[in-house]
Structure 1
Amino acid sequence: MEERKTIAVAVIGNDQLDLSLFSKILVNNELSPYECGYTDLPERDFSSVRLFFLFPPDDNSLLAATAAKLSETKSNTIVIVASNEMYRSLPQEIIEMVHDHLVYPSDTFTTVSKLRLYRSFLIPCLTSVAENELEDLKSKVLELEEQNISKDKFFAIIAHDLKNPFTGFLGFSEYIAKYYDEITKEDLGDFSVRMYDSARLVYDLIENLLAWSRLRTGNIAFEPIRLNLSETTEHVLKLCEQSVIKKEINLVNTLPKRIEVFADGNMLDTVVRNVITNAIKFTPRGGVIHVGHMYETGKTVMFVADSGVGIPEDIQKKMFRLGYRVSNDGTDGETGTGLGLILSKEFMLKNDGDLYFESKPGNGTKFFISLPNVN
């Protein structure tokens, strides 16, 4: 087996605790850090180092002088390690001299992703980095930054969508607490249904969030086995039966009794449930939902077609992407976040499959769940 190369990097700052903690992260990602204070820089030989992590000191002029000195070697890559607030407070002249900003402290997934990115660009040339390669590095880093911004927007949307059902839940429970001796039996029943709907929405959202988080951090169980897709679908349809009856939807299931696929059972159940509940949500009262299947090379494809409102073209481009609100209220006022479909897409990719759709505004939507054949 080829031996993995360890890249020498420099970590410069005045807080020894920050340097030590950050250096441990670097070591775990096959980077060999040299720790150094700003006052010790003139005495250090960094001729073999091409990647520098700078923790900003209190003196911006000292940081500017250090960045300028390191920039004299064109192949050097300079990364500021700081909080978003601290980074935004830096003078523009410093920001223009550095190649990237690594948020610290940050979630492990984002930090490790960037460190792997730096490493992949520096391995081919440990002693020198061509200018065009540095530009490629900048481009990749900017792309990763965009993903982080989208993730921040996404969590802002989630926070907002968590607040709404809680507001309703708290409102109803407060009213019951104040006027419990005046509430009629009919009103109490109505309040109970509304409180249940709010609690169910929060529960489903948290379940999806936890599953998405476990998937992103690699902490989710993944055990693909031979499964009967028809059996999974029947189970989901049974769970959704009351919603179908309530909206008087004509649900047609043409799946044969047995369709064998190769997938993780829990993930497949989540995907089928999210796609079918989404179809019910956007199908008007008295509408039609058709569940069927077809075959492609090496794949079994299940489809869920509805006669609903369809997806606007501007939203279609944002489907399955973090940081965008793509979920409107359903035809009966049902609410949602769009997280379920994002999670389902990632689950399908994890299973060597895919989730995609066709839609025309006003003419319904058809979702396709593609999975590997057992053979």
Structure 2
Amino acid sequence: MEYSILVVDDQPENIRFVSLLLKEMGLGSKIYSAPNGKIALDLVEKVSPDLILSDWGMPEMDGLEFLKALKSSNATKDIPFIMISAIKVDADSMKESFDAGVHDYLKKPFDKLEFMARVSATLKLQNAYLKIKKNGEEIANQALLISKQHEELLKLNKLKDKIFSIISHDVRAPLATLDGLLEIFSDEEIELDENELKSYVTTVKTEVNGVQSLMDNLLQWAKSQLVNEKTNTTDVNIHDVVQEVFSLFHERTTTKSLDVYNTIEDHMIAQTDQNMISFVIRNLLANAIKFTPQGGKITVSSERTINSIVVSITDTGVGMDEESLNSLFDDSNISTKKGTSGEVGTGIGLILCKELVEQNQGELSAKSELGVGSTFSCMLPIN
């Protein structure tokens, strides 16, 4: 192994002698020298030595001051340091040196074999230390990764359990309703007038729409959990996407006599994944329809900033209190709530919307006032 070694001494002949011994040990390819600690500090930053051999008594900055300066910096505190001195050889001086962090101590004059043994031992200990440190860091990184994966698994398991709970309630309930209606339709003894038949058909549509929305959300959630899912970013005309979603909900808005407006200009282009954003707008509009009473109003508008387009869906619905608003995107607190006409929901749609918007480098936010209505704003990047 090739080492970089710094020799610090105010006597040139001492530097030459130590350098000769290092070369004799096969360590002479990168030997640097300095006449005092002050100059040596500047040199350490440039050459990053693997070992420092330093005299104690030197002008401007002595060996002990140099050692303490090295130990005060995270970048240099682990460099092995051998102190060499002819004057500071008493027990108190040696203790002071070791307390400051010196790795070994040589008294002048020293024996050639002793010098070689001390240098060799220090380098071996340093190599062992660096190996242990590296392994320790790798183990710490692995432990951190495992901890994060464990937290993610706990989170996903909790969400999975909640979803199964939602499925058991929000799928079984409408299916039970549909089963009951089919029993009525198939019973020849039950005669239904036109108004009763229309009412039952409306109920069937509501229940089927709810189950369909639930299935869409669950499938999208499953897709979003795939590790390698990629966003297909293209130029997306937001006005056209909103208009297409409007057509999907025409029957629902007509049934509830809702006025819906798409005020987005047709040149509003965002850089995003069209399928993901279409899903987001469908969910947000479905929520607006769900919580807006008969005869209400829903407006989809946009605002352009320097680097983004902000798409807002505003309704005149029931609104939310502060507590509900604060927990809106909390996947640990998924809850269901029926709409103004009995529409069912899962509570997972908004969390999915937030995830998908963020995957497209955007932001989803909401503001609401109880009894007044809500506005959901989706910021999408222009480029």
* TM norm structure 2: 0.58
Work out which of the residue numbers 341, 358, 380 in structure 2 matches 1:371. Answer: 380
Matches within 5 A, 1:1-375: 125-127=134-136, 141=150, 145-146=154-155, 148-177=157-186, 179-180=187-188, 182-184=190-192, 186=194, 187-218=196-227, 222-373=231-382, 375=383
- The answer for unaligned runs of 5 or more in structure 2 is 1-131
**2:281 counterpart letter in structure 1:** V
1:305-358 deviation line (CA, Å, top 9, x unaligned) = 112111222222222232423342212222211222222111111111122111
Over the aligned positions, Cα root-mean-square deviation in angstroms equals 3.0
2: CA distance between counterparts of 1:152 and 1:163?
16
| Highest RCO, 1 vs 2 (Cα 8 Å, sep ≥ 6) | 1
Counterpart-to-counterpart distance in 1, 2:133 and 2:251: 60
* CA distance in 2 between partners of 1:132 and 1:184 (Å): 70
Distance 1:222-1:176 versus aligned 2 partners, 3 A rule: same
Query: How big is each residue's C-alpha offset from its partner over 1:203-242, in whole Å with a ceiling of 9 and x where there is no partner?
Result: 2211211111011114656322111100111111122223
1:71-129 Cα distance to aligned partner (Å, 9 max, x none):
xxxxxxxxxxxxxxxxxxxxxxxxxxxxxxxxxxxxxxxxxxxxxxxxxxxx9853478
- Match in the other structure for 2:72: none
Question: SS where residue 358 of structure 1 aligns?
Answer: strand
Q: Which residue of 2 aligns with 1:52?
A: none
CA–CA distance in structure 1, aligned partners of residues 282 and 133 of structure 2: 46
Contact 1:157–1:325 (CA under 8 A) maintained in structure 2: no
Kindly indicate whether the alpha-carbon contact (under 8 Å) linking 1:320 and 1:341 is maintained by their aligned counterparts in 2: yes
Normalised TM-score (structure 1): 0.59
The answer (yes or no) to whether the contact 1:161–1:337 under 8 Å persists in 2 is yes
* 2-structure distance, mates of 1:350, 1:124: 37
| Alpha-carbon spacing, 1:247–1:176, altered in 2? closer, same or farther (3 Å) | closer
CA distance 1:352–1:180, change in 2 (3 Å): farther
Contact 2:367 2:375 (C-alpha < 8 Å) held by counterparts: yes
CA distance in 2, matches of 1:358, 1:124: 51
Q: Deviation of residue 259 (structure 1)?
A: 0.7
CA contact (8 A) 1:225 1:263 kept: yes
Judging changes above 3 Å, is the alpha-carbon distance between structure 1 residues 293 and 128 closer, same or farther for their aligned structure 2 residues?
closer
Give the residue type in structure 2 aligned to 1:281.
K
Contact 2:239–2:262 (Cα < 8 Å) also in 1: no
Taking a change above 3 Å as real, the CA distance of residues 149 and 261 of structure 1, as seen in their structure-2 partners, is same
Amino acid at match of 2:167: I
Aligned length: 251
> What is the CA-CA distance between 1:293 and the residue it aligns to?
0.9
Whose radius of gyration is greater, 1 or 2?
A: 2
Q: Secondary structure at the match of 1:126?
A: helix
* Alignment partner, residue 102 of structure 2: none
Shift of 1:303: 0.4
Q: Secondary structure at the match of 1:337?
A: coil
Aligned AA (2:360): N
Q: Is the 8 A contact 2:210 2:343 kept in 1?
A: no
8 Å CA contact 2:242–2:262 kept in 1: the answer is no
Residue 290 of structure 1: how far off its partner (Å): 2.1
